[in-house]
Homo-oligomer: A and B are copies of this chain.
Amino acid sequence: MSHKSPDPRVVRSRQALLEAALAELAEAGYAGFSMESVAVRAGVGRSTLYRHWNDRLRLVADALEVLNVQPARPDPAAEVPARVRVLQLLTHLTDAVVHGPVAAVLPALVHAAAQSDAVADFWHGYSARRRQALVDAITAGVETGELRPVDPVRAAEALSGAVFYRRLMTDRPLTAAEVPGLVDVVLGPDA
């Protein structure tokens, strides 16, 4: 059971590089993303960068893992109504998709995922986890009869989809004010 304790220098370098990569991604976009800049930004030799990631897309994927923080699971005792929970989640997504750290990188991510399996894995997993929270909330609402009996998976896709659609295929991303109307359409109007 040898605990290969990691060299602290390695830890330091990796950390600095991941942060630098994220910053570079946000600033320069995915096109325009330069390994050189990342290394400089991190105050690290270019060779050190390549020692840890010889694939720029893996670097990007790893850097994005840091964003991979789930919105807190609801306190099961909190007994929030399903519809409210859905509104919370969607409002959060609506915001994240415009102002969050992922926002800056979103179009690049969509593109990169089409080029690299590693990025695709990350991105699909990330999306799946986000979506799952929505599915759970809808499922709960359907089970308690609070919501009409929709297919929760399909409904979650429609709801999330609308948010991303407005962000990526139109010039006006969804606003918080429009979220209730969206929920009405998919889950039925508030009783």
Contacts and interface: CB of A to CB of B under 8 A. Distances in A.
Nearest to A174: B157
A182 B164 contact: no
Interface string A28-40: 0111110000000
A171 B115 contact: no
Interface of A is mostly: helix
Interface of A: 29-33, 106-108, 110-115, 120, 123-124, 127-128, 150-151, 154-155, 157-166, 168-171, 178, 181-182, 184-186
Given A31-B111, A32-B115, 16 more contacts: A30-B31, A31-B115, A107-B111, A107-B115, A110-B110, A110-B111, A110-B169, A120-B171, A123-B169, A154-B185, A158-B186, A161-B164, A164-B164, A164-B168, A165-B165, A185-B186
A155 to B, nearest CB: 5
Contacts of A112: 31
A165 B182 CA distance: 16
A127 B162 contact: no
Contact of A165 (B30, B111, B161): B161
Contacts of A168: 110, 113, 164, 168
